[in-house]
Structure 1
């Protein structure tokens, strides 16, 4: 239990403003952060206080809060490119469902196939947690959170490449060619079986477990207690951003352009995979003493993804 201490968001805004006001440049140094700690602000002599042990009322944070905020902002930076993943994981679900409607279903409801997404989640999480991750650790391979997220982005590139190829083949085999969605010629559908769309639906959770669950774990383990709520809010805000982008781009999701949304999202995820690893590979440093804790954290945090499925 923590005593009420005001808004961490409001205090964080004050601290960040002071840091960058003192830095006078885009990137703040460790010295800039140290300078805004209350003890250093008071010792600087800039403020008229009775004694060094008394803070002005507007300084509502403590020295520890500055260190916590600095760590939290590092976690925030990981989530900055996460909307790219969320566009791959659910952003094109409607397009994939309509794609199945342009294929041979043999009476199968085309919207049934999207149910393989949660089925894949429930099947894959135990395999990841009890086979894949522990197996890598036993071989001395530390598959870190940042590496998992990068791998998840790469899976996002693969699933969208697969969907683009399937859509291309639909256009090639449909009686109406590149107007396959509303075709009325002959059977009106491509001879390709709609079961092919299971591939991207199944791949979405395989990447989502690595991206989403790892981001939850970063929010849970790498941020201080009073900042966890803010970090979780940023995680879900990044999902909202992805949905806004999809909504804006949705008028383009029509024939004959249905290949290109998959191509664009796939390329974006491929670049995100590289840049996520390149930019954030130093954000976490774990040694062998952390491995048991990671096993426990994986199991606990993955319950969030299972409940979501």
Structure 2
């Protein structure tokens, strides 16, 4: 982390309006990181046109030059980072905690206060360590709960990956008028770059002032439904491509599908990262975040299995089926996990507004 004298921990702040907020600089960095990633994702606006007008070698050379420059800057700023010495494996400690919880039938019974009350504390040498506390056990429990929340995310990412493969192929069947068929995928990061600040600065504050509690499970469900609409739109568009003369439909008619997927990311991916960040113990945040990103790999594997139907003449049904799957998965997510955020402490950490960056 950056070596700075500023407060890097979450703290409460009262605004001039009397509104109480929670400021978490670390979560701000997490949110801004994803926003910055999507700014970088706009690079195809340059490389696609360079490839079309010059050659592939220059299109590959441009990102190489950028990577070398950034790597040099990172190495040159080494002294600005605070380096923490290794302190053992949090994964091993978490596994030991889970083992105790399994032996005691629940995480509640695995807490040292309960072990001592039941006279079973001496059974577990690890439970007698100073770092083993009721709070640490509770955070391991919430971290595991966070991983459960990602169970249905692969069904969202199956739809999300379509903007990087099948929708590009679909564009190739349309009237391009000089537009590269892989250019429209840049609408996804553009939509995100606009939509994320719009949510944080306008929409979420308006909802809070209107006393509307837009809980995390509602955000994720909304994202699934937007992805479903994107696939339904792609299915209808593919139908008209089939029944129209070849290359007669303008490629920019695809735009709503990309924008809808981009908007859905602001609800699903951003909220997923917040869940991983707030529900996992600090020592396991990277692991829980890795589980979140693993769902993309699972979705990619499913897409490979769908390859036989990801071609003509099955694309209408393929897109339509994905729309149905995303809709059902979104409804299931709400039904299964609508109580997962009832913990008042978790609600506060996920929904309280912040002003020095993004929400907690």
Which whole-Å deviations, capped at 9, do the CAs of 1:135-188 have from their partners, x for residues lacking one?
A: 1111110111111111000101100000000001111114xxxxxxxxxxxxxx
Structure 1: give runs of 5+ residues left out of the alignment: 24-31, 50-54, 175-188, 303-309
Aligned to 1:295, the other structure's residue is in SS state: coil
Change (3 A) 1:293 1:160: closer
- Which shifted more, 133-142 or 40-49? 40-49
Instruction: Give the structure 1 partner of residue 233 of structure 2.
Output: 162
Instruction: Give the structure 2 partner of residue 171 of structure 1.
Output: 242
Aligned to 1:141, the other structure's residue is in SS state: coil
Aligned to 1:90, the other structure's residue is in SS state: helix
What is the 5 A alignment of 1:33-52? Answer: 33-38=107-112, 40-41=114-115
Change (3 A) 1:21 1:192: same
Q: List 4+ stretches of structure 1 deviating above 4 A.
A: 1-5, 38-49, 57-61, 289-293
Structure 1 length as normaliser, TM-score?
A: 0.78
Instruction: Give the structure 2 partner of residue 56 of structure 1.
Output: 125
Question: How much has 1:68 moved relative to structure 2?
Answer: 1.1
Q: CA RMSD in A?
A: 3.0
Among 166, 178, 184, the alignment partner of 1:113 is 184
* Kept in 2: contact 1:72–1:231 (CA 8 A): yes
- Which shifted more, 221-230 or 151-160? 221-230
* Kept in 1: contact 2:351–2:359 (CA 8 A): no
| Alpha-carbon distance in structure 2 between the residues aligned to 1:57 and 1:251 | 52
| Alpha-carbon distance in structure 1 between the residues aligned to 2:247 and 2:157 | 29
- Which shifted more, 214-223 or 293-302? 293-302
1:95 and 2:159 correspond: no
* Kept in 2: contact 1:217–1:298 (CA 8 A): no
Count of aligned pairs: 274
Question: How much has 1:57 moved relative to structure 2?
Answer: 5.4
Structure 2 length as normaliser, TM-score?
A: 0.68
| Alpha-carbon distance in structure 2 between the residues aligned to 1:56 and 1:291 | 33
Aligned to 2:249, the other structure's residue is in SS state: strand
Which whole-Å deviations, capped at 9, do the CAs of 1:188-224 have from their partners, x for residues lacking one?
A: x242111111111111110110001111111222332
Instruction: Give the structure 2 partner of residue 142 of structure 1.
Output: 213
- Which shifted more, 207-216 or 55-64? 55-64
Question: How much has 1:41 moved relative to structure 2?
Answer: 4.4
Instruction: Give the structure 2 partner of residue 13 of structure 1.
Output: 95
Aligned to 2:248, the other structure's residue is in SS state: strand
